[in-house]
Amino acid sequence: MTSAAETAADNDRRNVSDVVGVVVLGACAVWPLISATGRDGRPEGVLLAVLAVAAGYAAGRMSGSLLPVAAPCAGAVAGLALAVAMPQVAPGPQFTTPLGHAGAVAALLVLATGGACCAAWATPVPALRFVLRMLAAGIAVTGAAVGSATGCAASTVVLLSSVAAGRMRRRGPAVAGLALAATLVTGTVWAVAANVLPAGLTSALAGPLAEHRVQLWRDAVRLAHRNMALGVGPGRFGELSGTASEGLLPDGKPHSAPLQQAAEQGLVGILLLATAFCWILYALWRSPRSTPLTLTAGAALTALAAIAAVGNALSFTTVSAGAGLLAGLATARPWVAGEAEAEVPGG
């Protein structure tokens, strides 16, 4: 049995996590306004993304407390439906995977898989757990059916990670591993964009990425170096990048979340993006939910971070809201007598 002192200490740590989240999201909303000052920037898109994450997180915390199994299951089904429907209903240009809508489809499939796996870990009924895992496997297969190889592969990784999480008793090393994985992907993207790798390795990495995308990344790095303090201003990459205007269907994006932050909001912008991701991992580490469930959500959000590092997924409000929703579901305390999971978080 958990002592009253341990429960109070856990509540204090969760309060700290919530306060940090409010401060981080607040800073992510204020900084674009500062960066846009005097630069004719357009911070509305960034503000909408921050609002979507905050709203999704709040909805996840509430629904996850009241319906710890049904809420993530419903979120998984909704994410799958949006992923299937997005290419038909979303306006704008279609880009090669994982650019544009293809990246958003892959991101939604990953979040849907994470939701289904989280629901599977939340239920104590073995038969229902099996059905929910079959739903997660079906989501991965759907990715292949709709032509999203990235979504299929990433969803499969999330599903396998969820199964492996069932054997883990300490979540701290696993959370650190997720942070390292996201750092390696982002660092590789930056190295390709900055052209600092050996020629052979750069060619091997840049080959599957398409030359146009690599040139967008390099434009973003150049703009970031020239405007390291404040960036060029939110929404201004398309105006200042020569490559962005050369595409058949230009959308004014560098198609990499960290590079876009660096180019448009400077060093502070990229640090805020990294801090927001670290806060989510910290909240999962301190979550009262079971280790397999929290690590499953962490794996899905890390996969999303990887997709966003090489694509344009976070430019879609549905993806930002879905990420916040999954994080909220995985950090909510079930508000049902006797349903709190008997595990000391952060082990």
Per-residue model confidence (pLDDT) at position 98: 43
**Residues 252-268 pLDDT 10s:** 788 899 999 999 999 99
SS3 106: helix
Helix H or strand E encompassing 169: none
Radius of gyration of the chain (CA): 20
Which of these, 244, 248, 311, lies nearest to 98 by C-alpha position?
311
**pLDDT the model gives residue 241:** 77
CA 153/CA 173 separation, integer angstroms: 24
Write down the pLDDT at residue 65.
93
Predicted TM-score of the model (pTM): 0.90
At 171-227, the pLDDT tens digits run 999 999 999 999 999 999 999 998 887 877 777 776 667 788 888 999 999 999 998
pLDDT at 35: 92
Regions of the chain short of the pLDDT cut 50: 1-2, 89-99, 337-340, 342-347
**How many Å apart are CA 161 and CA 156, to the nearest integer?**
8
Provide the residue ranges of all domains of the chain, joining segments of one domain with +. Answer: 4-331
pLDDT on residue 343: 46
Other Cβ atoms less than 10 A from the Cβ of 128: the count is 15
